[in-house]
Amino acid sequence: MTKWVSVFAAALLALVIAAPAHSASMPSSKAAAALGEIYALGTAAAEANPGTPVNAQDTGWVTIARSHIKTPSLKDLSFDVAMQCGINTFTSAVSKGGNKDTAVATGAVTVRVKVTTPDGGVRYAVPNEEGKVDQGVTYCSRVQELSATFQGIIEGCIAADGTINITDDCLQPEEVSLLLKTLSAGSFNFLAPDVPPGIQMIEVQARGQASSALFGSQLGSAKGEAFVGVGSMRVETIRMIKNADLGPIDLE
């Protein structure tokens, strides 16, 4: 796996704070933005091997971007969060004797937007199902499963006189491996309606999750990594029209 990426964790954004959270001199603004560079979160391994056939890791929610915006009155906030998102997975299946061996590796990165209002209240921007703030929005996800069913290499089953006597003990496992590495960039729009006036602290939080598991002979291996890279956040003060669906539009 790549050395510059922390196993199953992430390279995250270190972003410029727009202004102190309680700066009385901060002017009201229509929009705010933050840009970031790679920031190392840490290391969390999600690697399965014959000694540890099942492994799962979760970074939990980590703030990767922070900014502030001052709203003059009861407003809605719109967020555009864009970032690089990558997943590395590796699976190796080892089989002999016609037995099926399976290796599974997964990785995922989810994102949510946390808003701390002037009165200290905390809310999470939608989409976020009520009461399930841990869900967030999936920016990238992968499940990689590799299976193999081999009879095994019979070289060790040949006697000195050339006789072939195949037993499970003399068979050498056959192996197949698969490595996938991807990096993509995407964005998603979040919304926080009816925030009170004053200085709002905005935090973009990301969560990396990975798991790996071996089934069958458990002689193979599996690894999963999830990470994010450079990105940006844009916050805009808006006023939405509630229930604006006018029904079907007659274009004739």
pLDDT per residue over 82-95, tens digit each? 988 888 899 999 88
Of the chain, the percentage scoring pLDDT greater than 70 comes to 74
Ranges 43-47, 117-121, 140-144: which has the least confidence: 43-47
Ranges 47-56, 72-81, 147-156, 243-252: which has the least confidence: 243-252
Strand-pair partners of 25: none
Instruction: Verify cis geometry, omega within 30 degrees of 0, for the bond prior to 72.
Output: no
Q: What is the mean pLDDT of residues 57-72?
A: 87
Ranges 52-61, 154-163, 198-207: which has the least confidence: 154-163
Two structure tokens written together for 241: 């029209």
The pLDDT of residue 168 is: 76
The pLDDT of residue 12 is: 32
- Contact by Cβ (8 Å): 64, 36: yes
* 2 confidence band (pLDDT: 50, 70, 90): very low
The pLDDT of residue 236 is: 87
Of the chain, the percentage scoring pLDDT greater than 90 comes to 13
What distance in Å separates the CA atoms of residue 78 and residue 31, rounded to the nearest whole number?
A: 9
Two structure tokens written together for 16: 């410029």
List Cβ neighbours of 246 (8 Å cut-off, separation of 6 or more).
none
pTM (whole model) above 0.85: no
Q: Is the pLDDT of residue 145 over 90?
A: yes
Q: Average pLDDT over the chain, rounded to whole? A: 77
What distance in Å separates the CA atoms of residue 133 and residue 44, rounded to the nearest whole number?
A: 23
Q: How far apart are the first and last CA of the chain?
A: 58
The pLDDT of residue 129 is: 52
What are the Cα distances from residue 231, in Å, to 210, 234, 244?
22, 10, 32
